[in-house]
């Protein structure tokens, strides 16, 4: 399922953190770990992450994420060489008349309760021109951060795409580090 990072542009905001595997942050929701330094990340996992997430380079960050959106959330993450504080608040994109209808197979639609809210938005506290869009699904964070300098970052839970991986691990990468899958290329000529 490679669709997740392709959704980044559509949601207009990017949150990402670099790839490492050894506790480097004290006190906070997350810790950065350095795979090479800690030798916790195998070459096989590295290859899987690069293939599944279509990235050239990344970092891994362990995050303790709540199982769902329960209220405001603050998380400290590393973007490149800097640590930043991301402040998120629940945000519904549902319209006032939003409802969920299920087709029971007979062509009859039955109204059911909507699932709990999973979307959030916010900003990077150190950057007043930043925008962050996020979702918490199955205890994992998917987030997009747009910084005021127009750079973009993404965060995705690794276990959502690679079964058996610690659910706290999240891949963090700059949007510029997204690599097209082998055999694919942009449909626009470079000279256009």
Q: Which domain holds residue 121?
A: 3-177
184, part of any domain: no
169, part of any domain: yes
Q: Report the run of H or E that residue 45 belongs to, with start and end.
A: helix 43-52
186, part of any domain: no
> For the chain, what is the domain count?
1
pTM over 0.85: no
Task: Using alpha carbons, select from 182, 138, 189, 188 the residue that is nearest to residue 163.
Answer: 138
Are 146 and 152 in contact, with CB atoms under 8 Å apart?
yes
* Residue pLDDT, tens place only, 25-80: 333 334 444 444 334 557 888 889 998 999 999 989 998 888 888 899 999 999 99
CA distance linking residue 140 with residue 70, whole number of Å? 14
* Residue pLDDT, tens place only, 46-57: 889 998 999 999
DSSP codes of every residue in 116-164:
PP-EEEEEETT-TT-EEEEEEETTEEEEEEE-TTS-EEEEEESTTTSTT
CA distance linking residue 77 with residue 149, whole number of Å? 17
Q: pLDDT band for position 192 (50/70/90)?
A: low
Are 84 and 122 in contact, with CB atoms under 8 Å apart?
no
190, part of any domain: no
Task: Using alpha carbons, select from 12, 14, 21, 10 the residue that is nearest to residue 158.
Answer: 21
Q: pLDDT band for position 160 (50/70/90)?
A: very high
Query: Residue 42: what pLDDT?
Result: 76
191, part of any domain: no
37, part of any domain: yes
């Amino acid at each position: 399922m490679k669709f997740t990072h392709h959704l980044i542009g559509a949601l207009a905001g990017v949150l990402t953190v670099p790839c490492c595997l050894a506790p480097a942050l004290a006190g906070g929701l997350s810790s950065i770990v350095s795979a090479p330094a800690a030798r916790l990340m195998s070459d096989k996992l590295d290859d899987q992450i690069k293939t599944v997430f279509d990235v050239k380079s990344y970092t891994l960050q362990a995050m303790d994420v709540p199982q769902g959106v329960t209220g405001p959330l603050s998380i400290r993450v590393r973007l490149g060489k800097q640590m930043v504080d991301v402040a998120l608040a629940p945000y519904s994109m549902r319209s006032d008349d939003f409802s969920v209808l299920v087709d029971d197979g007979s062509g009859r639609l039955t109204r059911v309760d909507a699932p709990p809210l999973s979307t959030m938005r916010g900003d990077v506290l150190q950057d007043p021109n930043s925008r962050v869009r996020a979702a918490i699904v199955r205890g994992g964070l998917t987030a997009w951060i747009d910084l005021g300098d127009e750079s973009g970052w993404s965060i995705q839970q690794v276990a959502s795409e690679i079964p058996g991986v610690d659910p706290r691990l999240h891949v963090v990468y700059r949007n510029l580090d997204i690599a097209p899958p082998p055999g694919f290329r942009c449909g626009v000529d470079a000279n256009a």
